[in-house]
Amino acid sequence: MSRALPASDRPLLSQACTWIILCFILYALPWSVFAAEPTTLMRIQGSNTIGAKLGPALISGLFQSQGFSNIRVVPAGAENEQLVKAEDKLGRTLQVQVAAHGSSTGFVALQDGSADLAAASRPIKASEAAALQSLGDLQGVDGEQVIAIDGLAIIVNPQNPLTSLTTEQLAKAFSGEARDWSELGGAPGAITVYARDDKSGTYDTFKELVLTAHGKSLAANAKRFESSDQLSDLVSQDPHGIGFIGLPYVRQSKALAIADGESQPMPPTATLIATEDYPLSRRLFLYSPPNTPNEWVRSLVQFAHSPAGQAIVEKNGFIAQTVQAIKVTASQKMPEDYRKLANEAQRLSVNFRFQEGSATLDNKAQRDIGRVLDYLEEHDKLRSKVVLVGFGDVKSDPERAALLSKLRAMAVRRDLSKGGVIFREITGLGEQMPVAANDGDDGRLKNRRVEVWVY
């Protein structure tokens, strides 16, 4: 026969039942309910060219190098925004926010404090650097980081019979001055222009190198896109379409060879883009305050420059800054000394260029000094195996142009000599062999270069 619990024990039984029920409920709930909110390590805003794929890939590589697990890239809830997530060794969820709405948005975000790092597919403008002066010198070697080289590919439908255009012809087509393909040497048909949006660094670069350089503006009826993939796919489907895009986004379209000024038509090949000889080559940048307290920003920049980071750059379709020796085919159009060099030696996949209006190496060139020294030491080329060849822009006096080009080579010699390099020869070829037009600042800067050759 059962016996009723004393009244004094009933509250205890009720509490025990309540705890048992709670335990069952808690056991049935997913662990994520109890997990802490993800810790945001850094916020990156800016270029779609970088932010769509390359940026998340570099962040994933950094996470992997730190021994993190469950690394994944997920949508952030808005178009062209992503989160790169991972778990650290303690099981905590970490993330990096990546918003890719155009290069100019990155600098705005640095200014208002909504980003720790700006991604840009064009150099920071003087006005932007001035607005961010309180953060430090973003144009200096510690604020500006070149993480990859890219080339703007001019794309058309695969069935378009044209194989090359000049930058002048491009300016006419994209401004609407040339309305039919027959005006450019192609088959008759109305030209349809596709372009990136106004916030895009890709558009800024194209505007500066092509449109502004020839005194033109983009046609009002151009079809505009924030997405690189979408633009490329539509051009590939349009028999009359023409567009510009970063090299990794050519996809199913056909890329044309491009000539600028007196240069020969050049296709957007890895070699010509690596040396920045291709007329529409460009640099991809990360910008951050030089003395940023965010250690993850510093770590990402360092990783991007590392061999592992540059391997990710190459895997994602951009041009890595890894130094390689390239065999150049000699031609009768080359100066005799240069043709002899092409027959006997190899050219390194780097050009040294200089700050505007200065004999000082630019930020990329300063880092390239270290890369070239590493290559020369690794391949036993430090002693009497190196030739420096300087070039310049057109001068009224050819002898003065030759002298200035050799002085640029001597500036590179000074820095490489500190690393123990003993040179075989240093020469200047003046205004010969231009890679760009000399009637604009950008073209003249491209032509003021120093090549490195090795025996």
CA distance 51 to 66: 21
Q: Which of 38-42, 234-238, 358-362, 411-415 is predicted least confidently?
A: 358-362
pLDDT digits (tens, 9 = 90+) for 86-139: 999 999 999 999 999 999 999 999 999 999 999 999 999 999 999 999 999 999
CA distance 308 to 315: 11
Give percent of the chain above pLDDT 70. Answer: 89
| 323-454: CATH, from 1.20.1560.10, 2.60.120.380, 3.30.1330.60, 3.30.9.10 | 3.30.1330.60
Whether 17 shows a pLDDT value over 60: the answer reads: no
Residue 344 CB neighbours (<10 A): 11
CA neighbor of 170 nearest in space, from 195, 189, 149: 195
pLDDT in the model for residue 280: 95
> Residue 171, class by beta-carbon neighbours within 10 Å (0-12 exposed, 13-18 middle, 19+ buried)?
buried
CA distance 288 to 112: 13
Whether 453 contacts 387, CB under 8 Å: yes
Handedness of CA 435, 437, 443, 444 (dihedral sign): positive
Whether 19 shows a pLDDT value over 90: the answer reads: no
CATH 2.40.50.140 fits 150-274, yes or no: no
pLDDT in the model for residue 73: 98
pTM of the model: 0.80
Instruction: Please report which confidence band the pLDDT of residue 33 belongs to, taking 50, 70 and 90 as the band edges.
Output: very low
Instruction: Please report which confidence band the pLDDT of residue 442 belongs to, taking 50, 70 and 90 as the band edges.
Output: low
pLDDT in the model for residue 1: 45
Listed by start position, the domains of the chain span: 150-274, 323-454
Instruction: Please report which confidence band the pLDDT of residue 404 belongs to, taking 50, 70 and 90 as the band edges.
Output: confident
pLDDT in the model for residue 448: 85
Whether 426 contacts 388, CB under 8 Å: yes
Whether 378 shows a pLDDT value over 60: the answer reads: yes
3-state helix, strand, coil in the chain (%, to 5): 40, 25, 35
Q: Where are the beta strands (DSSP E) in 105-240?
A: 117-120, 144-156, 164-166, 192-196, 223-225
Mean pLDDT of 384-395: 88
Checking 214-217 for CB contacts under 8 A at 24+ apart, the result is: 214/167, 214/168, 214/171, 214/172, 215/171, 216/171, 216/172, 216/174, 216/175, 216/177, 217/175
Q: What is the mean pLDDT of the chain?
A: 90
pLDDT in the model for residue 207: 94
Coil/strand/helix, residue 307:
helix
Whether 243 contacts 211, CB under 8 Å: no
Among 346-350, 396-400, 447-451, the range of highest mean pLDDT: 346-350
pLDDT digits (tens, 9 = 90+) for 429-438: 888 888 877 6
Mean pLDDT of 377-389: 97
> Residue 116, class by beta-carbon neighbours within 10 Å (0-12 exposed, 13-18 middle, 19+ buried)?
buried
